[in-house]
Amino acid sequence: MRHILIVGIGSGNPEHMTMQAINALNRADVLFIATKGANKVELADIRREIVERYVTNPRTRTVEYAVPVRDTADRTYGESVDDWHAAITGIYGQLFSGELADDGTGAFLVWGDPMLYDSTIRIIERVKDAGEVAFDYSVIPGITSLQALCASHRIPLNLVGKPVEITTGRRLAGTFPQHNETVAVMLDGVQAFSRIDDPEAMIYWGAYLGTVDEIVISGNLLEKKQQILETRARAREKHGWIMDIYLLRKGEDFDD
């Protein structure tokens, strides 16, 4: 039976690769490399660099495939994501049937960690449910952007004895600081932090974490929000895309 490996490759630094991930890539007959258009060519380039650095199996080959653009017109967020996943599901099914032998092994190089705000596992399950290609799969964890963020800022993720919430920009207004004192925010296309006016809030922001273009800014939210907005806008204009994450915090250790 075909076997698919979903391999976390870290948040942009090829040295984020674990030995488990390297060994997994070297077990694969085919490595599937996602391309996302000219504006995000660096993301594919880092995957190619990882393959060049670490894959020593002469029988392993790479197959590149284009990821469709998510259509957001005239539909809710949930509808647009569901349609997008359906389109990718069809692509994955074609890759498995067309590029893998019945007993072949394929691997996806997944940015960050496949279990944290990534949909590869969901899409692989949709391919299985379709029943057109028989396969099983395994998941190999990776370094997350959240880990990279805290490491770059030299901060612990949590306050002592207190919870941490991981959410999106769309959900931020309902949680910080009224429900949790530490919130990690991913997928924030609207810069929701800019609408928080708490004078005690701190922000730890980072973009392109792990890459040579990494940018980090931290400090009091009210003092830093404009700098972050301007820096983010310049970086997005320069690169044509941006991947950023931030942590908001209010309070200190042992302040109960």
Q: In this structure, what token pair is assigned to residue 256? A: 């109960």
Q: Is residue 130 situated within a structural domain? A: yes
210 and 222 inside one domain: yes
107 and 168 inside one domain: no
213 and 122 inside one domain: no
130 and 8 inside one domain: yes
pLDDT of 107-158, one tens digit each? Answer: 999 999 999 999 999 999 999 999 999 999 999 999 999 999 999 999 999 9
pLDDT of 5-18, one tens digit each? Answer: 999 999 989 999 99
| CATH number, position 168 | 3.30.950.10
* Backbone CA torsion sign across 116, 120, 126, 129: negative
The rounded distance, in Å, linking the Cα atoms of 34 and 153 is: 30
List phi, psi (to 5°) of 94: -65, -40
67 and 169 inside one domain: no
**Domain total in the chain:** 2
Q: Is residue 254 situated within a structural domain? A: no
Q: In this structure, what token pair is assigned to residue 72? A: 């957001």
CB atoms within 10 A of CB 61: 13
State the pLDDT at residue 71: 78
Instruction: Tell me which residue range forms the domain holding 159.
Output: 146-249
pLDDT of 63-113, one tens digit each? Answer: 999 988 887 777 888 888 888 999 999 999 999 999 999 999 999 999 999
74 and 159 inside one domain: no
